[in-house]
Structure 1
Amino acid sequence: MSNSLYGPLDPAPDAGYTDAPPRMGFFTDTSVCIGCKACEVACKTWNAVPDDGFNLLGQSYDNTGGLTANSWRHVAFIEQPRSERSGSATGVPGAFAGVPAGPPASARSAVTAATVGQETGTEPGLPPAVDALAAAGTIGDRTEFLGMPGSDLPGRTSDAPREDFRWLMMSNVCKHCTHAACLDVCPTGALFRTEFGTVVVQPDICNGCGYCVPACPYGVIDRREDDGRAWKCTLCYDRIGDGLMPACAQACPTESIQFGELDELRSRAAERVAKLHGEGVESARLYGHDEEDGVGGDGAFFLLLDEPEVYGLPPDPVVTTRDLPDMWKRAGVAALTMAAAVVVSFLGGRS
């Protein structure tokens, strides 16, 4: 990787870590998100993030609305009626007609789903007992998943799945940009780059100036009303430093949130997109993975099933401080020109 100003780079060595470990990050596969909000709860619990009112906003089942100082993970619920997709209301297959049931689940997901089915009396589409999974030879291997979340409601057993609308769900989070404008504008050093390539706010150093808030191209960072300081996802820096998985990824029952070495996650994501395309899901695309984009690629990237704007994401994010060097150069030239004009005027007045 090159260390050009706004081209691809490895951010930890660029920040001065001479023997940095591999860059770590998130890959969020929205095609298997079921909107359970376990990630939100786990994030708040581990990081002692205050509650944010738990108000239903009149927008589907979304009770947080977006990323804030008190919501470091936000699960978006997007309802898409068939009329908002392609085709007319008659004679056109539903939005998910022909779409595969979804990716195979790991043993961990299978056990979770089966256990929930036992405890709630529902049938999530998997054998109701863990020993049945073992008897079938699926534990330790792979088994079929509940079904893509948009095709029907989780746990529904009807033979006639909904085809008049689909759900799109996404657990949003700080992108931990390769080129982070928040770092560029922070005057106190409260924001710093970790050895894992992530970006963390040190609340004991933050003075609440708020410069980082408009600098973020994704609108992630926010200031808390009671103390004015900035807060956001730390990618559980305290956990990964001890070899643990971030709380949100640990709690995710469908493995929609995947944590690991960023290069390996990108390879895994490319394979997942290729698989979905091969199964007819042409809308699947990656967001935030490209090292040549306007922020040098994100440390947290996503597999989406529609355009980024549908999920409230900017289609072409650009690091907001990219023009600062040129602006300072122009300001310097303008200052020198003005100084020269003053000197000439002064000397001309004396002659």
Structure 2
Amino acid sequence: MAGAQIPLPVHAAAPKGQDFAMLFDAARCIGCKACQVACKQWNDLPGEETTNRGTYENPLFLTADTWLKMHFTEGTQGEEIFWHFTRNSCMHCTSAPCVGSCPTGAIAPRPGGVVLIDDRQCIGCRACVQACPWDAVHMDKKTGVVKKCTLCYDRVNNGLEPACVQSCPTDALLFGSYQEMRAHAERRVEELKARGYPRANLYGDQAGGTHVMYVLREHPSAYGLPTAVKGQRAKTVEKWSFGALAAAALSLLGFRWLSERREALQKDKEEEA
């Protein structure tokens, strides 16, 4: 029935052996930032000193110490002012650009679909930082390795929801099996369209499909979200390969110049003798 309330899935971790997913419903979000605080608390991430720049966002950008932040977009419709709330964090892509860019395999998908970083393999080259379309990966200057959201993999492996999901007071965040979250998101989109939001859509098909999905009332661009992400992985790998080859070529030229220089100096000495 049009306008009928769709029941929420039961909050539970995804069954073992299945891909899991998080669903963010922007139509339910009130911008309270409880999720942002919970992320800091659970992951023991330090606070950051910021300044007031005339926005409710704080901090303004993701960093190695801030893995999740709420993004506020202000808009107008006639004389009315409204807000679009969305979350900025790692999307845990199926064909993750960061995975494709990493030369050491430090970033890799794990069972369930989460993309994690192995600190022991990270060399701090920042290729993944440049590759991420969502600006979700950042260098930790204290440790020399990159950091990002882990989707609370430690909690999920112990049958718990991610900390941000557990903290949400309006059920704007849900967690479960990928299939369940996808089906619920599609139903929510149809419900929103029936309620007068013709541009309602499911955001989550980028980069081979993401394990963090959004239900949006408007086009993704209204929330500041990228849409042209397909093919990014291949381009990133190509870019990294070209850069590596260029660096190797420059190194060889440098060695050749030094060798020739030594030979010339030796020849001069012999002639002087």
After TM superposition, the score normalised by the length of structure 2 is 0.76
Instruction: Identify the match of residue 68 of structure 2 among 67, 73, 76.
Output: 73
Output aligned runs, 1:311-326, within 5 Å. 311-323=223-235
Instruction: Identify the match of residue 286 of structure 1 among 202, 207, 211.
Output: 202
Whether 1:30 and 2:18 are equivalent positions in the alignment is no
Q: Distance in 2 between matches of 1:69 and 1:172?
A: 13
Tell me which residue corresponds to 2:115.
Answer: 199
Q: Distance in 2 between matches of 1:279 and 1:303?
A: 14
- Opposite residue 181 of structure 1, the aligned amino acid is P
- Opposite residue 30 of structure 1, the aligned amino acid is A
Tell me which residue corresponds to 2:179.
Answer: 263
Q: Distance in 2 between matches of 1:236 and 1:273?
A: 27
The answer to whether the 8 A contact 1:174-1:232 is kept is yes
Displacement of 1:278 in angstroms is 1.1
Tell me which residue corresponds to 1:184.
Answer: 100
Instruction: Identify the match of residue 45 of structure 2 among 23, 42, 49.
Output: 49
Residues 1:307 and 1:203: Cα distance change in structure 2 (over 3 Å): same
Query: If each structure's strand is expressed as a fraction of its own residues, which one has the higher value?
Result: 2
The answer to whether the 8 A contact 2:21-2:211 is kept is yes
Q: Size of the alignment, in residue pairs?
A: 226
Q: Distance in 2 between matches of 1:181 and 1:326?
A: 11
Output aligned runs, 1:1-351, within 5 Å. 21-59=17-55, 61-83=56-78, 164-288=80-204, 290=205, 293=206, 295-323=207-235
Residues 1:37 and 1:324: Cα distance change in structure 2 (over 3 Å): closer
Q: Distance in 1 between matches of 2:194 and 2:236?
A: 44
- Opposite residue 219 of structure 2, the aligned amino acid is E
Displacement of 1:325 in angstroms is 7.8
Deviations 1:175-231 (A, max 9, x none): 100101211222333212111111011234322111111111222111123333211
Displacement of 1:170 in angstroms is 1.4
Cα-Cα RMSD: 2.2
The answer to whether the 8 A contact 1:173-1:300 is kept is no
Displacement of 1:271 in angstroms is 0.6
Percent identity among equivalent residues? 39
The answer to whether the 8 A contact 2:98-2:131 is kept is yes
The answer to whether the 8 A contact 2:100-2:237 is kept is no
Displacement of 1:74 in angstroms is 1.1
- Deviation larger for 173-182 or 189-198: 189-198
Deviations 1:12-49 (A, max 9, x none): xxxxxxxx711111110001111111111111111111
After TM superposition, the score normalised by the length of structure 1 is 0.60
Deviations 1:256-291 (A, max 9, x none): 111111111010011111111111122321111x3x
The answer to whether the 8 A contact 1:217-1:318 is kept is no
Structure 2 gap segments, 5+ residues each: 1-15, 242-273
Residues 1:324 and 1:217: Cα distance change in structure 2 (over 3 Å): closer
Q: Distance in 1 between matches of 2:201 and 2:97?
A: 25
SS in structure 1 opposite 2:233?
coil
The answer to whether the 8 A contact 2:100-2:236 is kept is no
Residues 1:55 and 1:325: Cα distance change in structure 2 (over 3 Å): closer
- Opposite residue 173 of structure 1, the aligned amino acid is S
Q: Distance in 1 between matches of 2:41 and 2:130?
A: 28
- Opposite residue 190 of structure 2, the aligned amino acid is A
